[in-house]
Structures are given as C-alpha cells and as structure tokens.
Amino acid sequence: MKINKKKFIYLISPNIIPNNFYNNLKLVLKTGKVSFFQLRLKNYSQKKKIIIGKKIKNICKKNKVKFIVNDDPLLSLKLKADGCHLGQKDMDINLAKKILGRKIIGVTCHNSMNLVKKAIKSKANYIALGAFYQTKTKKTKYKATLKILNKVKKITETPIVVIGGINALNYKNLLLNKANFLAISGYIWKNKKYKPLQAIERLK
C-alpha cells in the first residue's frame, strides 16, 4: 500500500448522513489530504447503505480516494469498494480475504500488542490503533498511547492508522511519532466552530 505523506487523513463518515453531506464531501476530498474514506453507518438499513455508498464511492473515485466499508465484507463486495475495515467482533480476516480477494483489509487492534501481532501474521493491509484522545463519535473502551505506536512501528512496516479524538491541536504529535494515517470523523463533520472544508484546511 503506497503512503503519500500529504494524504495523511483517513476520513470516516458521520453516523447520520445529512442532505448537504455530499457537497461537503466533494469540497473536503478536493483538498488532496484524504487517502481513505470509510463508510461507517450503524443505523441504516442495508438498502439505504447501498444507495449512500454508491454516491460516496463515485465522489471518492473522482478524487482518487480509496473507498472502504466498515464491518461488512459482503457490503464492500456489493459496492465494489476498495476494501473493508474489520473490528475485533467482525468477520475473521482470513474469511474476509476469501470474499474480497486482493482488496484492502484493515484491522482494529485497540491498544493490544497481541492483536497487532495477530494482524501482522494474517497480513492485514493496515493496523488501526486507538483511541488516542477522548472522542464523542463512539464510546472509548480502549486508550492507546504514543508508547504503543512506537512499539508497533519497531516491529512492522504495515501502515498504522491512529484513531480517537484527533483534531487540529493534537494531530501533529501523532504524525511526528510516525503514524501513517489519522482517522478523523467528528472534527470534520461535527465541528461547532468550522465548516468541514475549513476544518480540514487547518490540518496541514
């Protein structure tokens, strides 16, 4: 998986897709800072996810952004997405690989070296660590530190996506500690001070 240092953002969808979302997504992706976009919709029917997913996939394609589906390899296959992200309670990565072939598969490893080693062994395309900071997007069960990030960097070349409460005030520290991608959602989509485009432009 190629890493472009300018495109360090792994953007995650908001839980609810408002009407103005697609326009904002176009503006945000045009900045050239986003490598991945993850469709993460917990409260929609499969039918609705397909409709939303198709629209987003087209916007991603036009902006050369990899389109990833959260939790669901079968939906990823249906949408012809670039890959799938698996949490620890989702499908086993080896089964997901049988469904998706050579597509991108990333794995949540929280703050656990055991899970990281397991993901490396099963040849995950990237490892997700977190939460690094407090986040309102989802409940924070696991707290990750720069110490684990540095430990993981020492044992693998696999790209690392860091997640959890990342914003304009704390993102640089993660990049300086060699995180490859920053997973961001709330700071872009639920920012009370800035519109999505203004918010992403503050991440330089």
Q: Taking a C-beta distance cutoff of 8 angstroms, is the pair 145, 111 a contact?
A: yes
| pLDDT tops 90 at residue 140 | no
Decide if 61 is inside a domain. yes
C-alpha to C-alpha distance for 106 and 160, rounded to whole angstroms: 9
Query: How many domains does the chain divide into?
Result: 1
Decide if 26 is inside a domain. yes
Decide if 117 is inside a domain. yes
**Interval 141-179: pLDDT, tens:** 889 999 999 999 999 999 999 999 999 999 999 999 999
DSSP per residue, the chain: ----TT--EEEE--SS--TTHHHHHHHHHTTS-EEEEEE--SSS-HHHHHHHHHHHHHHHHHTT-EEEEES-HHHHHHTT-SEEEE-TTS--HHHHHHHHTTSEEEEE-TT-HHHHHHHHHTT-SEEEEE--S--SSS-------HHHHHHHHHH--S-EEEESS--TTTHHHHHHTT-SEEEESHHHHS-SSS-HHHHHHT--
Q: What is the pLDDT of residue 141?
A: 82
| pLDDT tops 80 at residue 136 | no
Decide if 2 is inside a domain. no
Rounded mean pLDDT, 8-23: 96
pLDDT band at residue 137 under the 50/70/90 scheme: low
Q: What are the b/e assignments for 34-62, b being 16+ CB within 10 Å?
A: bbbbbbbbeebeeeebeebbeebbebbee
Decide if 3 is inside a domain. no
Q: Closest Cα to residue 90, out of 36, 42, 155?
A: 42
Q: What is the pLDDT of residue 5?
A: 76
The boundaries of the domain holding residue 169 are 9-201
Decide if 187 is inside a domain. yes
**Interval 55-65: pLDDT, tens:** 999 999 999 99
Decide if 4 is inside a domain. no
Decide if 1 is inside a domain. no
C-alpha to C-alpha distance for 39 and 193, rounded to whole angstroms: 24
pLDDT band at residue 138 under the 50/70/90 scheme: low
Least confident of 19-28, 128-137, 191-200: 128-137
Share of the chain above pLDDT 90, in %: 92
The domain that holds 101 is classified in CATH as: 3.20.20.70
Rounded mean pLDDT, 181-196: 97
